Amino acid sequence: MGIDELDGRIIKLLADEPRIGVLEASRRLGVARGTVQARLDRLRANGVIRGFGPQVDPAALGYPVTAFATLEIKQGQGTDVRAYLVGVPEVLELHTTTGHGDMLCRLVARSNADLQRVIDRVVGFDGIVRASTAIVMENPVPLRIIPLVEQAAAEET
């Protein structure tokens, strides 16, 4: 378990320049191609690397507004709420958290006005007692993982 320094460099390199292949990566890192290939296979097998899917920007799709909604759920309605929210495309993410039947979900919308529609659709569901929404104004740190990868790689001495 865990990753070493070379694993970290591989991940960082692929994060910076995803288009380069295994061969080019091995050249940049100064190791044999087989090594990079084996490391990548192992990282994928260990679940460290989930995949290389396209990273899609909701804003470019026409959904520039992001919000986080905290939902309070009626006792015993958790399963229903989950199943309902899975069916709402604007719900990008849903977590259950500590607290009194609370959930936290990430929403996107076409505009602030459209956000009202989305929230109504979310909150309109029966099992949801109350919702409080925080609209995102700025995103100083977009979702990132590299600093954590570097820390994990450094600790692996």
Q: How far apart are CA 68 and CA 110, in angstroms?
A: 15
Determine if 6 is a binding residue for DNA (CB under 7 A): yes
142 binds, among a second copy, DNA, none (CB under 5 to 8 A by kind): a second copy
Give the β-pairing of 102-109 and 91-97.
antiparallel
Q: Which does 112 bind (CB under 5 to 8 A by kind): DNA, a second copy, none?
A: none
State the Cα–Cα distance between residues 39 and 36, nearest whole angstrom. Answer: 5
Looking from the CA of 83 toward its CB, the CA atoms found within 13 Å total 6
In single-letter form, the type of residue at position 39 comes to R
Query: Least Å distance between CB 121 and DNA?
Result: 32
Determine which residue in the list 63, 65, 118, 127 makes contact with a second copy, applying CB under 8 A: 63
Strands 65-73, 91-97: pairing kind: unpaired
Beta-carbon contacts of 134 under 8 Å, excluding residues fewer than 6 positions away, are 67, 68, 69
Which helix (H) or strand (E) segment holds residue 69: the answer is strand 65-73
Binding of DNA by 37 (CB under 7 A) = yes
Site for a second copy, residues 109 to 148, rule: CB under 8 A = 134-145, 147-148
Which of 14, 128 has the CB closer to a second copy?
14
Binding region for DNA (CB under 7 A): 6, 19, 21-24, 30-35, 37-39
Binding region for a second copy (CB under 8 A): 1-3, 11, 14-15, 18-19, 46-63, 66, 68, 70, 82, 85-86, 89-99, 102, 104-106, 108, 134-145, 147-152
